[in-house]
Amino acid sequence: MAARLSCAGQPVTAFSRRGAEKSCLTALRGVDVVEMAVDDKVRNVQLREAIRNADVIYNLAGTSGAVASNQDPRTSLEGNCKFQLEILRACEEAGNRPHVVFSSSRLVYGRAQVLPVSETSPVIPTSFYAAHKVCVENYHQIQAHRGTITYSICRISNPFAFYRPEPNQSYGFINRLIYQGANGQPLSIYGEGSQVRDFLHIDDLIDALELCGTHIQARNETFNIGSGQPVAMNAVAQLVHEITGVPVIYSSWPAEDALVESGDFVMDIGKARTRLDYHPKFEVFSALRQMLESGRLPTSAFHSMSDRREDAFPVLRPKAAAAGHQSESRNG
């Protein structure tokens, strides 16, 4: 997200933890990187001062992992809910009523009762991670009601891109297969892999987030952000096998993973198409084939999630860069 905005010539402020994440961000021209303080009071001052000069906040902050959240609910609570309260409180104290684009998750729906899943489908989380996402969605709605922000909630399906997953990571299915295939490791699938998912290329996701940051029709609305196309998980594994020659290994579901498995899932993205003119460009099989056949997937090409997974950062777009869009949007 920061790279997209900076390449478009827009000044960006990104909050970062220590480590590789900061190094990647500081390499981007036009991105002002703020290393988040450990001390709560100092961090709150950092947030308030940055938000005071921002018109749009791409709120990507939080921890990931449904299984991990059920095993350690308190850490999920701290990483997802507590820090979100800090961000929204800083928005209120800054006093400039920014627009906040919040990255929620498809997992808030739990096991889909009807496909495709629309924004009006029941919200039935099966993990603390998903429950905390629902909680934070409500935080944004409350603050909008109080007049301190406007918001767009993006319930994101299954994004994929280049990165190296952690050894025991239980999410990011396609990313794990790409990494395993490129490095000659057996492709692992739980169960038969016949369930379908709605896979979303990272560039399409960034398109959607950017549209939510600039369109008046996105104000105080919730959107499903996916491809809208059902794809079987074992079909993805077979494609990676076809290209790399690496075998597919099927194994039984670990108990904790089985408890959060959603079954078949595909999104109805009609609202985003209509309101935002959002049209995903990437088809999963052709995108995967291009990635794997490009010959540009050495281990070093994957950024480790161990430096990104906990406390991902919010990205802020300063007022000067967005004034034209926002004056039009605010006044309608």
What pLDDT is recorded for position 331?
34
Query: What are the CA-CA distances from residue 123 to residues 58, 156, 171, 172 (Å)?
Result: 23, 14, 20, 22
CA 302 to chain centre: 18
End-to-end CA distance of the chain: 26
Task: Return the domain boundaries, the chain.
Answer: 2-331
What pLDDT is recorded for position 27?
66
Cis peptide before 116 (omega within 30 of 0): yes
What pLDDT is recorded for position 23?
61
d(CA 175, CA 303): 11
Task: Give this prediction's pTM.
Answer: 0.87
Strands 221-225 and 150-156: parallel
Instruction: Region of 147 please: left (phi>0), alpha (psi -120 to 50) or beta.
Output: left
What pLDDT is recorded for position 36?
86
What pLDDT is recorded for position 305?
33
What pLDDT is recorded for position 241?
94
Averages of pLDDT over runs of 10 residues in the chain (332 residues) are 87 75 68 88 93 94 92 95 95 96 98 96 98 98 98 96 54 81 90 95 96 97 98 95 94 95 97 98 92 59 36 60 35 34
Does 2-331 carry CATH code 3.30.420.40?
A: no
Measured in degrees and rounded to the nearest 5, phi and psi for residue 101 equal -100, 110
What pLDDT is recorded for position 295?
58
What pLDDT is recorded for position 163?
56
Output DSSP code: residue 129.
H
What pLDDT is recorded for position 174?
86
What pLDDT is recorded for position 292?
82
